[in-house]
Structure 1
Amino acid sequence: METSIMIKIGQRVRDIRKSKGLSQEQLGEKAGFHFSYIGGVERAEKNITLINLIKIANALGVPVIDLFSYTKYQKSVLNEKDIMLNQLMDVLIGLKKSDLRKIQLFLDEFFEK
C-alpha cells in the first residue's frame, strides 16, 4: 500500500489543526469522530475515505484541496495572511460575475491602479 500520501495528508491535517488551536479531541468532536481516529489519520495509520476527509476539512474550516497542498518547500503551518486569503477566496467564489466586477473596480479605485 502507498503510505506516502497518507503521511502527507496526516501531516497537513495536524498542521492545520494546530494552526487553528484545536486538540485532536476538539477536531474529532467537530468532525464527528473519536479523537483516536483523528490521531490515526495524523499518524497515517488510517486509510481515510474521501467522505471522512471532507468531514475533517469542513471541521477545520478549510477547502478539502488545502489538505492536498503540500510540498517540501511549502510552509507546513498556515500563517494569518494565508488564512485571511482563504476566507476571502471562499467569499469571492460565491459571488456573481457582476459583483466580482464591482469589487475589482473598487479595489482598482482604492489602490489607485
Structure 2
Amino acid sequence: MNIDECESSPCQNDGTCLDKMNAYQCLCHKGVEGAMCEINRNECLSSPCKNNATCIDGYDHFSCVCLPGWEGELCDVNIDECFSHPCQNDATCVDGIDSHRCVCQPGVSGINCQQD
C-alpha cells in the first residue's frame, strides 16, 4: 500500500509535490531550490549590479540600489547632469559621474558660467 507523502504538504514556497512509491519529489518554482524548495536562490551571487551598486536579493528577483550619478535596472546608465542645461552664457557642459563641468566663454566665470 502506497502512502501519499504529499498529504503533509512537504514542499515549501508553493512547490508542487509529486507522490512516488514510498517517496515524494518537489518541483520548485524559479528562484527557489532544495529537496523541499526551502532555499531561496540568491540572484545577487552573480554580481548583476554595476558601478558599485548594492544588490538586494528577493524571491525570484533582485534589485539594484544605485550610487549617485547612476540609474537603470542594473545601475549601468550614467545620469546626464547636462540634460537640464545648467551652464549659462553659451558655455559648454561636460557631463561627469554625479557631476558636470561648465567650460566658460572668455570673460565669463562661475561654476555655471553665470558671472560676466
**Aligning the two structures, in what range does the TM-score lie when normalised by the shorter sequence?**
under 0.3
**Highest RCO, 1 vs 2 (Cα 8 Å, sep ≥ 6):** 1
Larger radius of gyration: 2
Higher helix residue share: 1
**TM-score normalised over the length of structure 2:** 0.20
